[in-house]
Chains A and B, each alone.
Chain A
Amino acid sequence: MKVGIVGIGHGKFGNRSDATVQELAFEPFKEAIEDANNLRREDIDSLIVGSVPEYHMQRSLPGVVAEYVGINPKSTWLTEAACGSGSAAIRTAYMSIKSGMHDIVAVIGVQKMRELSTEEILALMGRVGDVQWESIFGTTFPGYYALYANRHMHEFGTTKEQMALVAVKNHYYGSMNPYAFFQKEVTKERVLGSEDVAFPVNVFDCCANADGAACVIMTNEKLAKKFNDTPVWFEGLGSASAQMSLLRRPNLVEIPSAVEAAKQAYKQANVEPSNISVADVHDCFTIAEIMAYENLGFCEKGKGGKFIEEKQSYIGGKNPVNVDGGLKAKGHPVGATGVSMTTEIVKQLRGEAGKRQVSGADIGLTHNVGGIGQYTFVHILRR
């Protein structure tokens, strides 16, 4: 029995000092309920919340969110896989529907990051490395990706210009996305001239810490048509992990969990990378998108820089990537990101993406990486 999405919702991402976590969660939930025809709130028998709890003063989020959105499901809990928490929630929902344990599951990815200062967030995120042997030297999240970037440049000749082109593309598409934090285009020169964060990563190579929420309603094949004429189906779900510490990874030019998760998803969906009409990938840093092209098989290993240079990830290229602006332009409310990616792919497959529509899109992919590659989820969806 297939599992599909019958409702989607997306709140405004950005600096949301106007709302609490549960108020943020309400926005996309309401949209998703309205998107699924004839769905009553009380039909939802499980709520899975994807979020990283350390950012919030509020503890035990699922209970608070369930109460605020006005449901009392049989089961509700939190999934945490760092920046992959949203996709972990979707995978959990998929498993519970596939097993027959639940029929209709709401997934809400939500995060309010900007209650903390940038220095506090840098310290918090830096501790996603090994705190015993690494964080004591002041490692940061951008710093880890900078270590990847520098090695990638060394081995494959990838350049800062190529990294900047990823930001240019994602801001171009972000300018057409009303939910994005930044809806303005940037030039390559602006990216290259922006402040140093962690050499060779500049401010404009980084996604922004943001507040926001997104929601999908998932159900089984039997019920799906009742709520939506065009459900979008999960065809392949890959999930893999990698060593916590970069010190134990086989190399620093790829995310091994992404390579493995992609392999699983392609196999289950029985498709090739060339069949993917549109993809949302985890561009927390510009180098991360370049590695994603390679790890997902959109291009050969080491050719990711060339892939963006040749505009192969633009609409009209081999594999359009992040045509919603990506984490780069949308902002990255960590728990919401995987769910946000999924709503974009659903829109694309329904043909409802407006100016950003990839014409005739029939197979879409999400690639959501947690931490510095410890967890990756790759999901393939089909119309």
Chain B
Amino acid sequence: MPFKYFGKINFTPYTKVDKFSEYLHKGKLMGSRCKNCGEIYFPPRADCLKCMDDKFEWVEYSGKGILHSFTTIHAAPKGFEDIAPYTLGIVDLEEGGRLISWIGDIPEKEVKIGMNVKVVPRIFEEIPEIKLYYTIEKP
């Protein structure tokens, strides 16, 4: 499952962490761990920010986290007009790191900064070419 299928529109088809999309397709949300110093990253990165070592291994994330902030996008950029308005959240992940993604099925009125959430791997069923992503849900 090539990385180009990650996201509604993918801007970076080639990356050293392209296995991420393969795991996501299997329902797993993965971060990276530096083989030298053990630092954990989400989003995953091939090259350690701390010790600059370039060997890493994959580490499975629970998806659990806390909503740090959110916004509802009404004026959407090119390629996203068809799904607007959509709500984006930033999640502080339990294992460390943050991600940004769409809020999924949580009713608008219940979305609150500081709430517990769970990030769930997804596939865009309605798009013919497989598109992988994840959404923020109630735990």
Q: Please determine whether chains A and B interact with each other in the same assembly.
A: yes
Do B78 and A122 have beta carbons less than 8 Å apart? yes
Compute how far the CA of A200 lies from the CA of B85 in the bound complex, rounded to whole angstroms.
13
- Residues A137 and B76 in contact, CB atoms below 8 Å apart: no
- In the complex, B102 has a CB within 8 A of chain A: yes
Indicate whether A147 sits within 8 Å of B88 (C-beta atoms), given known contacts A133-B100, A198-B73, A246-B100.
Answer: yes
**In the complex, A196 has a CB within 8 A of chain B:** yes
A198: which B residues are within 8 A, CB to CB?
71-75
Choose among A131, A140, A197, A247 the residue that contacts B12 (Cβ–Cβ < 8 A). Answer: A131
Q: Determine how close the nearest CB of chain A comes to the CB of B127; give it in whole angstroms.
A: 13
Q: What residues on A are CB-neighbors of B11 within 8 Å?
A: 127, 131-132, 135-136
The smallest beta-carbon distance between B117 and chain A, in angstroms, is 15
The answer to whether B73 touches A252 (Cβ under 8 A) is no
B69 contacts the other chain (CB 8 A)? yes
* Assembled-state Cα–Cα distance A148/B87 (Å): 15
Chain A hits for B133, CB < 8 A: 136-137
Let me know if A218 is at the binding interface, CB within 8 A.
no
Stretch at the interface among B2-10, B32-40, B56-64: B2-10
Q: Give the CA-CA distance A351 to B68 in the complex, in Å.
A: 46
Chain B proximity of A154: nearest CB distance (Å): 4
Once A127-B11, A131-B11, A199-B71 are accepted as A-B contacts, the answer to whether A139 and B78 lie under 8 Å apart by CB is: no
B-contact bits for A229-254, CB 8 A (1 contact / 0 none): 00000000000000000111000100
Q: Is B78 a contact of A147 with CB atoms below 8 Å?
A: no
Is A119 a contact partner of B69 (Cβ separation < 8 A)? Answer: no
Q: Does A151 contact B (CB under 8 A)?
A: yes
Residues in chain B near residue A200, CB distance under 8 A: 71
Question: Is B106 interfacial (CB-CB < 8 Å)?
Answer: no
Given known contacts A147-B70, A151-B69, A246-B90, A140 and B76 CB-to-CB distance under 8 angstroms: yes
Task: Please classify the interface of chain A as helix (H, G, I), strand (E, B), loop, or mixed, using the class held by over half of its residues.
Answer: helix
Q: Is the CB of B77 within 8 A of A138?
A: yes
Min CB gap B77→A, angstroms: 4
Task: State which residues 105-153 of A face B: CB under 8 Å.
Answer: 118-120, 122-123, 126-127, 130-140, 142-143, 146-151
- Find out whether the CB atom of A247 lies under 8 angstroms from the CB atom of B99: yes
A143 touches B78 (CB 8 A): no
With an 8 Å Cβ cutoff, the count of chain A residues facing the other chain is: 38
With contact pairs A135-B11, A136-B9 given, residues A195 and B90 touching in the complex (Cβ less than 8 Å): no
**B contacts with A, residue count (CB < 8 A):** 39
Chain A residues near B116 (CB-CB < 8 A) = none
| Known contacts A132-B11, A133-B43, A147-B90; is-contact A138 B97 (Cβ 8 Å) | no
Q: Are A143 and B43 in touch, CB under 8 angstroms?
A: no
A149 to B101, CA, bound (A): 18
The reply to whether the CB of B86 lies closer than 8 angstroms to some CB of chain A is yes
CB-CB under 8 A from B43, the residues of chain A are 130, 132-133, 247
Chain B residues whose C-beta falls within 8 Å of the C-beta of A247 in the assembled complex: 43, 90, 97-100
Pick from A118, A137, A154, A197: contact of B69, CB under 8 Å: A154
Task: Give the nearest-CB partner of A134 in chain B.
Answer: B100
Q: Is the CB of A142 within 8 A of B79?
A: no
Residue of B nearest to A129 (CB): B100
The CA of A195 and the CA of B72, in the complex, are separated in Å by 13
B residues in contact with A130, CB < 8 Å: 43
Given A127-B11, A246-B90, A142 and B75 contact (CB-CB distance below 8 Å): yes
Asked if B7 and A136 sit within 8 Å, CB to CB, the answer is yes
Which single member of A118, A140, A151 contacts B73 (CB below 8 Å)? A140
How many whole Å from B40's CB to the nearest CB in chain A?
14
Question: Could you mark each residue 107-139 of chain B with 1 if its beta carbon is under 8 Å from any beta carbon of chain A, else 0?
Answer: 000000110000000000000000001000000
Known: A131-B11, A136-B11, A137-B133. A151 touches B74 (CB 8 A): no
Query: How distant is B96 from chain A, measured CB to nearest CB, in Å?
Result: 11
- B residues in contact with A197, CB < 8 Å: 74-75
**Which among A122, A133, A196 is the interface contact of B77 at CB below 8 angstroms?**
A122
When chains A and B are docked, how far (Å) is the Cα of A164 from the Cα of B54? Answer: 48
List B residues at the A interface (Cβ < 8 Å): 6-12, 15, 43, 68-81, 83-88, 90, 97-102, 113-114, 133
Besides A132-B43, A147-B88, A154-B69, 18 more A-B contacts (Cβ < 8 Å) are: A119-B81, A122-B78, A127-B11, A130-B43, A132-B12, A133-B99, A136-B11, A137-B7, A137-B88, A138-B73, A150-B69, A150-B71, A151-B68, A154-B114, A196-B72, A196-B74, A198-B72, A246-B90
Chosen A-B contacts, 5 in total, with CB atoms closer than 8 Å, are A122-B77, A132-B11, A138-B73, A140-B73, A140-B77
Interface residues of A, Cβ cutoff 8 Å to B: 118-120, 122-123, 126-127, 130-140, 142-143, 146-151, 154, 195-201, 246-248, 252
